[in-house]
Amino acid sequence: MHVSKRLQKLKPSETIAITTRARELQAAGKDVIVLAAGEPDFSPAGFVREAAAVFAREGMTRYGPAPGTLETRQELAAFLERTRGVSYTPEQIVVTNGGKHALFNALAGLIDPGDEVLILAPYWVTYPAQVELLGGVPVYLSADDAQGFKVTPEQLSAALSTKTRCVIFNNPSNPTGAYYTADEVRALTEVCVEAGVVIVSDEVYDAIIFDGGPYLSPASVSEEARDLTVIASSLSKAYAMPGWRIGYLAGPPDWVKKVASFQGQTSHHISLLSQAAAAVAVSGDQAPVEEMRVAFRKRRDFLLDAFRDIPGFEIAVAPEGAFYLFPRITGLIDAIPEVENSVDACAWLLDNAMVALVPGSAFGAEGFLRLSYAASEEDLEKAVQRLSETAGNLIG
């Protein structure tokens, strides 16, 4: 059958590809430790699961409103007010099929063919793919480990052009774990406001911050900033609910109305059961979110300590949020004759250390790799041991 040019160009997500390959090896009996996926190894809070079971028994089998139920949008609006001090009406919110769908809807509402979208690199794998699907042109602005993977206001200002439709800003960052402090967010937001450029703010890791002070969304910086920001977020990470596919976007009312119509014509709405569970999760006891954050912090600290002694892996700046390490591995690449880049290095580590990691090139950063510590402490300890032995035998 004919495949549209649009889909012919689409590459599958490398993180999903590596996880699938590692799972196949596991299924074949190999003892592979998979540190590739960006999926919390926690379950949703007990009270959320209980509530979802009750909702399922009650039914919720009819169609609902395209942008999401009023109750869920009200709870999300209250959540945004509480956590970010920014006011949205329910009409300014669309409940989506995860954060990925929130981003796609947001970009569909912004990009015309040929529009440039500024993507800060290292970036989450999906951004360029979504921009290109919509006929946009990704433009990259990179910040390496020497600057903590964070761009400066001067760099941002220099990278904007008259063709820039929007900037995608992800704080804390997947893949680096970098976290922009409130002052840094303010400074970058002001650059965008001055240039009149929209900020698509991917806030899926907002609850997983270890150091560096309270979370500031670009939308919270000023009224002008709020009117130029689209928040795209989800409950997949903070509430450990990725399989229930609950995301949302928030933005200016007239624009959101159009995006709600787009969703109405393309997918209508996400499961009412998931929406009802989301309302319970964001309005209920937040202690499970905090417990998860503390557990991630403990793992981050363990890994930072352990990686100091693993030759070939260099971590210049401690990640301050999300659940990823993004070490520079140029030392490792240089030490293995048959390895030329981060893709080869990850294949080599999978074969020789039986640890599945994601090459930095997938995130626009050659010479690095990503390790997800959304895994048990036992697996992390085993992975460290294997990587130390394998790299130690090689580099010594």
Residue span binding ligand PLP (CB under 6 A) among the ranges 98-106, 148-156, 371-379, 388-396: 98-106
Of 365 and 391, the one with the shorter C-beta distance to ligand PLP is 365
Size of the site for ligand PLP (CB under 6 A): 13
Q: Is 69 in the site for ligand PLP (CB under 6 A)?
A: no
Q: Is 124 in the site for ligand PLP (CB under 6 A)?
A: yes
Q: Is 100 in the site for ligand PLP (CB under 6 A)?
A: yes
Residue span binding ligand PLP (CB under 6 A) among the ranges 26-34, 93-101, 114-122, 349-357: 93-101
Which residue has the closest beta carbon to ligand PLP?
A: 98
Q: Is 172 in the site for ligand PLP (CB under 6 A)?
A: no
Q: Is 98 in the site for ligand PLP (CB under 6 A)?
A: yes
Q: Is 247 in the site for ligand PLP (CB under 6 A)?
A: yes
The nearest distance, CB 136 to ligand PLP, in angstroms, is 17
Of 247 and 312, the one with the shorter C-beta distance to ligand PLP is 247
Contact yes or no for 320/171 (Cβ under 8 A): no
Contact yes or no for 321/205 (Cβ under 8 A): yes
Of 123 and 332, the one with the shorter C-beta distance to ligand PLP is 123
Q: Is 242 in the site for ligand PLP (CB under 6 A)?
A: yes
SS (H, E, C) the chain: CCCCHHHHCCCCCHHHHHHHHHHHHHHCCCCCEECCCCCCCCCCCHHHHHHHHHHHHHCCCCCCCCCCCHHHHHHHHHHHHHHHCCCCCHHHEEEECHHHHHHHHHHHCCCCCCCEEEEEECCCCHHHHHHHHCCCEEEEEECCHHHCCCCCHHHHHHHCCCCEEEEEEECCCCCCCCCCCHHHHHHHHHHHHHHCCEEEEECCCCCCECCCCCCCCHHHCCHHHHHCEEEEEECCCCCCCHHHCCEEEECCHHHHHHHHHHHHHHCCCCCHHHHHHHHHHHHCCCHHHHHHHHHHHHHHHHHHHHHCCCCCCECCCCCCECCEECCECHHHHHHCCCCCCHHHHHHHHHHHHCEECEEHHHHCCCCEEEEECCCCHHHHHHHHHHHHHHHHHHHC
Q: Is 68 in the site for ligand PLP (CB under 6 A)?
A: no
Q: Is 364 in the site for ligand PLP (CB under 6 A)?
A: no
The nearest distance, CB 15 to ligand PLP, in angstroms, is 8
Q: Is 105 in the site for ligand PLP (CB under 6 A)?
A: no
What does the alpha-carbon distance between residue 109 and residue 105 come to, in Å, rounded to a whole number?
6
Can you read off the two tokens belonging to residue 20?
Answer: 């699938």
- Which of 92, 174, 274, 372 binds ligand PLP (CB under 6 A)? It is 174
- Which of 67, 99, 251, 359 binds ligand PLP (CB under 6 A)? It is 99
The nearest distance, CB 204 to ligand PLP, in angstroms, is 4
Q: Is 203 in the site for ligand PLP (CB under 6 A)?
A: no
Of 196 and 243, the one with the shorter C-beta distance to ligand PLP is 243
The nearest distance, CB 243 to ligand PLP, in angstroms, is 9
Q: Is 236 in the site for ligand PLP (CB under 6 A)?
A: yes
Q: Is 170 in the site for ligand PLP (CB under 6 A)?
A: yes
What is the contact surface with ligand PLP in residues (CB under 6 A)?
38, 98-100, 124, 170, 174, 202, 204, 234, 236, 242, 247
